[in-house]
Amino acid sequence: MSQTIRINRNDLTAKEIVAELNAGNRVIIELEILGRTLQMALRRRDETYYCDTPMKLLTFETETEMRECLERYRLAKSEADAETDISASAAE
């Protein structure tokens, strides 16, 4: 059964978000732009990834394209930041 996962911008890496989509879940990313909270809905149907923004529906044919979009628009935490978080947790 699919779930809807709500996150804020930069909570998960692009790899983690795509893994959720591949598992059949929807991911809602909340972000603040110019004082307004917007939501972007991400999902996967068949072999196509969808990013439903308030202004446009973007589609991607591959996992790589979806990850590049998440990274380009800084919706996902960078892999370098994720590694730093893991290192800091291990040191504690």
Task: Provide the 10 A C-beta neighbour count for residue 91.
Answer: 6
How would you write the pLDDT of the chain (92 residues) with one tens digit per residue?
689 999 999 999 999 999 999 999 999 999 988 899 999 999 999 999 999 988 899 999 999 999 999 998 889 998 776 566 555 556 66
Q: Calculate the alpha carbon distances from 54 to 29, 30, 32, 85 in Å.
A: 12, 11, 12, 31
> Could you tell me if 44 and 37 are in contact, meaning their C-beta atoms sit under 8 angstroms apart?
no
Count of domains forming the chain: 1
Domain limits for position 80:
4-91
